[in-house]
Amino acid sequence: MTGREQQREDVLRRLAGRPIVLVGMMGAGKTTVGRRLAARLGRHFVDSDEEVERAANMTIPEIFAAHGEADFRAGEARVIARLLRDHDIVLGTGGGAFINPETRGLIKAGSVSVWIKAELDLLFQRVSRRSNRPLLKTENPRETLKQLIEVRYPIYAEADLTVVSRDVPQDQVATDIIEAMLAQLGESPSASPIEVSHDG
Could you report the per-residue pLDDT of 84-113, keeping only the tens digit for each? 999 899 999 999 999 999 999 999 998 999
Task: State pTM to two decimals.
Answer: 0.87
Section 53-77 average pLDDT = 91
Residue at 200 is within a domain: no
Residue at 159 is within a domain: yes
CA within 13 Å, CB half, 94: 25
Section 58-72 average pLDDT = 90
Q: Give the domain CATH number at 97.
A: 3.40.50.300
Domains contained in the chain, number: 1
Residue at 126 is within a domain: yes
Smallest Cα–Cα separation from 111: which of 81, 84, 92, 93? Answer: 84
Residue at 29 is within a domain: yes
- pLDDT, position 106: 93
Could you report the per-residue pLDDT of 112-167, keeping only the tens digit for each? 999 999 999 988 888 876 655 655 666 788 898 899 999 999 999 999 999 998 87
Residue at 107 is within a domain: yes
Say what the alpha-carbon torsion angle 196, 39, 86, 100 is, to the nearest 10 degrees.
40
**Radius of gyration for the alpha carbons in the chain, expressed in angstroms and rounded:** 16
DSSP 3-state assignment of 97?
helix
Distance, in Å, from the CA atom of 148 to the CA atom of 76, rounded to the nearest integer, reads 19
Lowest mean pLDDT segment, chosen from 25-34, 107-116, 165-174: 165-174
Contacts of 141 (CB under 8 A, 6+ apart): 124, 127, 128, 133
Smallest Cα–Cα separation from 24: which of 199, 170, 200? Answer: 170
Instruction: State the average pLDDT for the chain.
Output: 87
Domain range enclosing 40: 3-195
Residue at 161 is within a domain: yes
